[in-house]
Amino acid sequence: MSEKPSDSRPIGVFDSGLGGLTTVRQLLRRLPHEHIVYFGDTGRVPYGTRGEDVIRRYAAQDCAFLMQHDVKIIIAACGTVSSVAPNVLKELPLPTISVVNPASRVAASVTKNGIIGVLGTAATVKSGSYAKAVKAAKPDAKIHAIACPMFVPIVENGWNGVKDEVAKLAVERYLQPLKDAGADTVILGCTHFPLLAPVIQNFLGDDVILVDAGEEAARVCQVQLAETGMLNRENEGEGDVNFYVSDQPSGFSTLAERFLGVPVKKNVHVVDPGTL
């Protein structure tokens, strides 16, 4: 009987900061035996308000850093990078997953009325990435993309609770047009937005389907590794997770735990952004 192939190299995940830990959280749930290397560019966050050339350059540097760690696949957890720099990912000599395509395919398949909302950073919305990907799967879909830049600091300040007036007001202010348009499906196309999901759901109503782009990317990663014989089948225990950041700002532990769902107590390494 032939043994199933196994690949013990880590999965690489990167983001402009710590928000991408929402994707790591999903990976840990689905693939607990995998080793993970995370790079968060905390020294240069945010990416979402920057120009395209800078985002592309940073994305290429982030990927090069992960490749130094012999990763077998790279997930761009950052909605902004996935939207603005898909070619940087495609040109790499290893498999890559962006958060745009998995979420767009799911949204296109679950919508009933074809009206789909997309929430992201300014750069993500300007790129039209999700609209293009949804329309590739469902040409008659109507897309309403809304840049919600204030959601990022609201989540980072921990003001994202269902009862928080700031969160409720910001959600109402940004999403009223989406409600008016009658969207039945909404893509959370930014690392931070899953943490606002309960407030968004309350405002839009229980019938609206929220698609978490990081969760869908983690699911696609699981499928792709299984199909290509790249799962780490030899490891029966928990995989190691190593966190690399380009700055360890004050409040790091609180913020990291907010996104990851569990405390980050060890394996945190600081990288000088000048070496990227």
For binding to ligand DGL (CB under 6 A), which residues are involved? 15-17, 19, 45-48, 78-80, 121, 124, 152, 190-192
Residue among 63, 148, 190, 221 flagged as catalytic = 190
User: Is 63 part of the annotated catalytic residue set?
Assistant: no
- R_g over Cα of the chain: 18
From the list 117, 134, 119, the residue with the least C-alpha distance to 178 is 117
- Beta bridge partners of residue 186, listed in sequence order: 117, 210
State both tokens at 61: 């540097």
- Indicate the residue among 25 and 142 with the shorter CB distance to ligand DGL: 25
106, 211 contact by CB (below 8 A): yes
Q: How far is the CB of 164 from ligand DGL (least distance, A)?
A: 20
- Cβ neighbours of residue 90 closer than 8 Å, sequence gap 6 or more: 96
Position of minimal CB gap to ligand DGL = 48
20, 46 contact by CB (below 8 A): no
Q: How far is the CB of 25 from ligand DGL (least distance, A)?
A: 14
Q: How far is the CB of 77 from ligand DGL (least distance, A)?
A: 7
- Indicate the residue among 78 and 88 with the shorter CB distance to ligand DGL: 78
55, 124 contact by CB (below 8 A): no
Q: How far is the CB of 72 from ligand DGL (least distance, A)?
A: 23
Q: How far is CA 5 from CA 32, 95, 229, 234, in A?
A: 18, 17, 5, 9
- Indicate the residue among 19 and 86 with the shorter CB distance to ligand DGL: 19
- Beta bridge partners of residue 243, listed in sequence order: 38, 268
Could you count the other beta carbons within 10 Å of the beta carbon of residue 223? 12
- Indicate the residue among 10 and 79 with the shorter CB distance to ligand DGL: 79
Q: How far is the CB of 21 from ligand DGL (least distance, A)?
A: 10
Q: How far is CA 184 from CA 7, 113, 192, in A?
A: 40, 7, 21
- Indicate the residue among 114 and 149 with the shorter CB distance to ligand DGL: 149
User: Is 221 part of the annotated catalytic residue set?
Assistant: no
For the annotated catalytic residues, the residue numbers are 78, 190
